[in-house]
Chain A
Amino acid sequence: MTTATQFEHQQTKILANREPKSGALLLLESIAAQGVDTIFGYPGGAIMPVYDVLPKVGSLRHILCRHEQGCGMAAIGYARATGKTGTAFATSGPGATNLVTAIADAYLDSVPVVFVTGQVTSDLMGTDAFQEVDIFGITLPIVKHSYIARDPADIPGMVAEAYFIAAEGRPGPVLIDLPKDVANALTTERHKWRPYPKVKPEMGQSDYISKAEDLIKDSKKPLFYIGGGIAQGDGVKELRDLVNRTQIPVVSTLKGLGSLPTDHPQFLGMLGMHGLKAANYAVQECDLLIVAGARFDDRATGKLDTFAPNAKVIHMDIDIAEINKLRKTDVFLDGSLKKNLEALNPGEAKCEDWRRLCFSRREEYEWDYKSPIGNMKTGGVYAPKLLHDLSRRVEGSAIITCDVGQHQMWVAQHCYFDNPKDHITSGGLGTMGFGLPAGLGAKLGAPNRTVITVSGDGSIMMNIQELATLFRYDIPLKIVLLDNSALGMVRQWQEVFFEKNYSEVNLDDNPDFAMVAKAFQIEAFTITKGDEVDDGIERLLSATGPILMHVKIDTYENVWPLVPPGRSNADMMER
């Protein structure tokens, strides 16, 4: 992230350069000056001036996705895999509205992405012109900040601030809407841009740190509840050190997975709606919840007033607006999560009985992959075991992106992670269609890593056009498509909560996905039996180019445990 000093330095450089340049060229040069090397975009009428000068800025690699939503999600995947700010372009009107889901996804998951949209010329704005929408207004609730560029001389400073804001503090999406006349206009002027004044404190006040330490020392049943903020705040090492120092058990949200290795001795698993029993029971019984980079999301807490009912709360978050938003906090540590985790040093917690209870439960409820389960009994493929086996084969060395639905929860439950940035999933918005474009973005951002996209037959159809992007750029993404011929999670809910009244969830007329992939010139194959899994994984992992493994699984397999919506996490349903 650009520091305030670097930001000021950039401003000085911007003001010094007075060559006549168009708004479009100033935009691209300013983006390149931020260290951006990759843009995911799709051209169209209003953004044509930008594409016209794109070849002049040689340091920028443009990836032409096949839908603006794909561009946005690829930029998110790139940002999450690299830790850098992603960039996506689209034209005005439908191009811009197609970005909206990606913008919302970045907002809900706090991902730094700068979105640039073309706009009709300034004199036509507000006249319902061709391909005009008020994308600034449409996206107000789902951006961290946004701009309409009114003067080309503003653009260098605006771009610098946009990238600064996107990455600073709690990251998020920033939108720049660029009218076509502003993109075309030549200027020798450069306007100084006000520096961002709201720099967050580095660390909570020391008296609050000591209050937090006192609470931990007094606790008999302390528990860490960690979330996506650990990765966003670069606090993985500090968290691991603190957990090792205190020996306190840990539960994680979906987005916190990997902050501790899945097999870490203190790790109890994911909590919440599809959380592990050992984790949910620990939350219900703890007397102190140490929340780090998590926000009491309803999927994690279940019925909020029954969540950790006997616990005091220490809440560490860079976003002070999260304090007391949903749960009253006893001690709040704002500022840098990394610094707060480092500063907190209460010594080893004196809670041996509690630890013993937590870890005995973890053993009791551990997944059993050896006994035949589900359709393994009839020779079929049991998706959780396949994911477990695949994950163990790559031994935490791969990035896994997911779509949304049953397969997403199976990945969270059954795959091994030892780095939270290796698990790229749409946690907040729950966006079907996320996995494939996020996977290609992640692979472009981390070309030396193995990147696997796990998708479902419902989700993949929402952005299947991005197979063409894989082929065009020869991106060696590995896709595992778990096909249960249904919208599986909705079907499961209809089975469990709606008396098996299956309504509009049957997808047994799916296309042959292997043939579809081949039509996009992507290597693909199908497996249907349990004894084909090992060879399938081998072929998937040894492929040098993009590849899709289509896996037929049981339509009626469910994700367990399941906490019914609006119920306490203690009310887990099982198979």
Chain B
Amino acid sequence: MVELQRNKTFEPSGVQGKLKIVLHDVSGTLIRALGTIERRGYDYRDVHCTQRVDGDFDLLVHIEDTGGPSNLDTLCKQLERLYNVVSAEKVGRRKHAERA
């Protein structure tokens, strides 16, 4: 009998990130974007959605990987592949600005 290699049990690696996603106001777009994030191996920690003056939506999501191989750049490309997603990008941490 050939010994099979057991699949690794993935532990969350704690990779966290914030994504800013711009969506057209078309039915199904929000659920399509959120579903893609979850299916590609991430949990939400925070979700904010606000409408812009041009009618599109800004979706800001704070996510954490669920333990699979995580790559936020790939996730952004997978989101941008969706129709009615205008853009998806990682949001870097802003430096704390000291008041004078």
Contacts and interface: CB of A to CB of B under 8 A. Distances in A.
B35 interface: yes
Contacts of A325: 71, 74
Contact of A165 (B6, B77, B80, B83): B83
Interface string A237-259: 00000000000000000000000
Nearest to B39: A141
A234 interface: no
Interface stretch (A14-22, A342-350, A538-546, A564-572): A564-572
B4 A140 contact: no
A324 B78 CA distance: 12
Interface residues of A, number: 30
Contacts of B83: 144-145, 165, 196, 198
Nearest to A567: B5
B82 to A, nearest CB: 8
A175 to B, nearest CB: 11
A137 B77 CA distance: 22
A565 B28 contact: no
Given A140-B35, A146-B28, A324 B74 contact: yes
B84 to A, nearest CB: 8
B2 interface: yes
B31 interface: yes
Interface residues of B, number: 23
A497 B5 contact: no
A399 to B, nearest CB: 30
Contacts, number: 54
B9 interface: no
Interface stretch (A315-323, A464-472, A512-520): A315-323
Contact of A321 (B5, B39, B74): B74
B77 A321 contact: yes
Interface in A133-188: 136-137, 140-141, 144-148, 150, 165
Nearest to A136: B28
A321 B4 contact: no
22 contacts: A140-B31, A141-B35, A144-B83, A145-B83, A146-B28, A148-B27, A303-B5, A321-B74, A321-B80, A321-B81, A323-B74, A323-B77, A324-B74, A325-B71, A326-B69, A497-B2, A498-B1, A499-B1, A564-B2, A565-B5, A566-B5, A566-B7
Given A145-B82, A497-B1, A567-B5, 7 more contacts: A136-B28, A140-B32, A303-B5, A320-B77, A321-B74, A324-B73, A324-B74
Interface of B: 1-2, 4-7, 27-28, 31-32, 35-36, 39, 69, 71, 73-74, 77-78, 80-83
The 3 A-B residue pairs whose C-beta atoms are closest, nearest first, are A566-B5, A321-B77, A145-B83
